[in-house]
Structure 1
Amino acid sequence: MDDFVSETDSEYTSYWRDWFISSRGNEYFCEIDEDYLTDRFNLTGLNTEVQYYQYALDLVTDVFDLDCDDEMRETIEKSARHLYGLVHARYVVTTRGLTKMLEKYKKSDFGKCPRVTCHSHPLLPMGLSDIPNVRPVKLYCARCEDIYNPKSTRHAVIDGAYFGTSFHNILFQVYPAYIPSKSTERYIPRVYGFKVHASAALIRWQTAKRDDMKRRLRRQGIDSGLTDDDGEEIEVVEEDEDQDLARHNRDQDASRNSTAVA
């Protein structure tokens, strides 16, 4: 921004989009075609979302010629960045926008997955909300199907709504050849080659299942009599559970029949 302070208005606005895309922290954005920006249909509803909408649009489209003070110019500049981000979310799901973002994806411009077993697979920016100023941008890995925070603080403050919640999924729908094979590798803790606490994990799972069964029987008013060493009672409980399942199925059938008669 400082590079343009001493420039004239025409020189300042002639390269606004080039300046925005090349600025540090804006590497996730692609350049929006001018004909897309000048088509008012693509901007429907944004006039209520952006302060000084018309001035901001003029600045983005390189026709800004308002003579104003530095404070006003800074406010319009902020609005222009916000407007560009909102239009960007719409543009990246178009055919042209998907093509540009795919090229950046293939060059790993958005970073690589930090998960070791994903072997540095490229990431894609995504939002957790389509509403502005709600959640910052996240990075999605198509291999492990998980999301991560950007490494750089400059990227971490970008609004997730500037990419939207659907872009990353739409890209792989349009370009299915780029869907990676899923990561099946999992880290297994070991000590001298032996798995750590494998039996403890099984015991925790069994205990959780037993406790869940007790709660369900207690809700039914049934005294299970379960103890840690009583296998006989467990068999009785399983029979009761089967009876409860059969009763539930009969109730559902009766409900469907009554609905059909009505």
Structure 2
Amino acid sequence: MGDKSIDQKVDYYTDGSESGLSEEYWVDWFLRAKGNEYFCEVDEDFITDRFNLTGLSTEVSHLQYAAELITDALDLDSFQDPVRQEIDADAKHLYGLIHARYILTPRGLTKMMEKYKLAHFGKCPRVNCYFNPLLPVGLYDVAGQSSVKLYCTKCEDLYIPKSTRHANIDGAYFGTSFPAMILQAFPQLLPTKTNERHVPTIFGFKMHEHAKWARWQDKQRQEMNKRIQQYNKEQQNIQQLKAQPNNSTPSVQSQQSQTKSQSQQSQSRSPSAQPQVEAA
């Protein structure tokens, strides 16, 4: 009987019902709910730190109550049904907004890195990526603009989650900076890039138009690499010139002293020419 009642509780909350009647911790229930597999556990210290809630009062109407509900410091049964539902929805929204900030911290990046290794966010559907794990990313940092997308670190393209539960998650709960931040923190996650692509053939012969298009793409890629190399060389030259300001200063000063001496000589010659004219 006891195990059955526990299962009923979990199913009850998984269906999106009110979360104030359970003896389970709110964060544990939220993470176990279907569709929330992309989220990691945010530390309670991070949630209770008022600095991390800066600017969220405009996004969440019941900010204080929602934060207390997340940290299990609020008795939701003491509120009437309309307000209780609002606080419950605000708590879920607040957790998502806090989650976007938490996963940019070292501890949050570590947790998300472990989920990435286990492919909790799915694998790239592109054949030539060979099931490379995906990373969640938002197109906007403001909530309500777009749902979460999945970024492949190999082909560097975006994909829509397969599950409708995941596709309905707000992209602001992960933010636009997360993939670049985690790859910068853990560069070993970067896979080996490949230019491999499918080439359609007819009885083993490449199609002329497609082959022409492939050659054009290769040419554009080579030209882009040349431009990047030239740009890097120019930046290095600029940095070298900036690093040698003191060496060019003496030459400038010597030129100024030479021009000054020449002007003085010309001035000294001009008075001597006037007496000769008067003597004549």
If the length of structure 2 is used for normalisation, what is the TM-score? 0.68
How far apart in 2 are the matches of 1:6 and 1:28? Answer: 20
Closer/same/farther in 2, CA of residues 8 and 169 from structure 1, 3 Å limit: closer
CA displacement 1:128-148 (0-9 Å, x = unmatched): 000110011000000000010
How far apart in 2 are the matches of 1:94 and 1:17? Answer: 19
| Residue in structure 2 matched with residue 51 of structure 1 by the alignment | 61
* 1:36 and 1:42 in contact (8 A); partners too: yes
Q: Are residues 1:136 and 2:147 paired?
A: yes
Query: Please, which of 182, 188, 191 is the counterpart of residue 199 of structure 2?
Result: 188
| Residue in structure 1 matched with residue 12 of structure 2 by the alignment | 3
| Residue in structure 1 matched with residue 38 of structure 2 by the alignment | 28
The one-letter amino acid paired with 1:22 is R
Higher percent of residues as helix: 2
Please report how far the alpha carbon of residue 74 of structure 1 lies from its aligned counterpart in structure 2 after TM superposition: 1.6
Q: Are residues 1:40 and 2:28 paired?
A: no
* 2:137 and 2:151 in contact (8 A); partners too: yes
The one-letter amino acid paired with 1:155 is H
Closer/same/farther in 2, CA of residues 111 and 58 from structure 1, 3 Å limit: same
Q: Are residues 1:16 and 2:26 paired?
A: yes
Closer/same/farther in 2, CA of residues 135 and 8 from structure 1, 3 Å limit: closer
CA displacement 1:178-221 (0-9 Å, x = unmatched): 1111132111111111111337846xx8xxxxxxxxxxxxxxxx
* 2:19 and 2:26 in contact (8 A); partners too: no
* 1:14 and 1:62 in contact (8 A); partners too: no
Closer/same/farther in 2, CA of residues 106 and 199 from structure 1, 3 Å limit: closer
* 1:88 and 1:162 in contact (8 A); partners too: yes
CA displacement 1:38-86 (0-9 Å, x = unmatched): 1111111111110211111111111012511233222111110100000
Relative to structure 2, which stretch is displaced further, 69-78 or 124-133?
A: 69-78
| Residue in structure 2 matched with residue 72 of structure 1 by the alignment | 83
* 1:113 and 1:121 in contact (8 A); partners too: yes
Aligned length: 202
| Residue in structure 2 matched with residue 145 of structure 1 by the alignment | 156
Please report how far the alpha carbon of residue 12 of structure 1 lies from its aligned counterpart in structure 2 after TM superposition: 2.8
| Larger Cα-atom Rg | 2
1:125 is paired with a residue whose SS is strand
**Which aligned pairs between 1:1-262 and structure 2 lie closer than 5 A?**
3=12, 12=22, 14-66=24-76, 67-198=78-209, 201=212
Identity of matched residues, %: 57
Unaligned runs of 5+ in 1: 206-262
* 2:137 and 2:178 in contact (8 A); partners too: yes
CA displacement 1:106-136 (0-9 Å, x = unmatched): 0000000000000000000000000110011
Unaligned runs of 5+ in 2: 1-9, 217-280
If the length of structure 1 is used for normalisation, what is the TM-score? 0.72
Relative to structure 2, which stretch is displaced further, 69-78 or 19-28?
A: 69-78
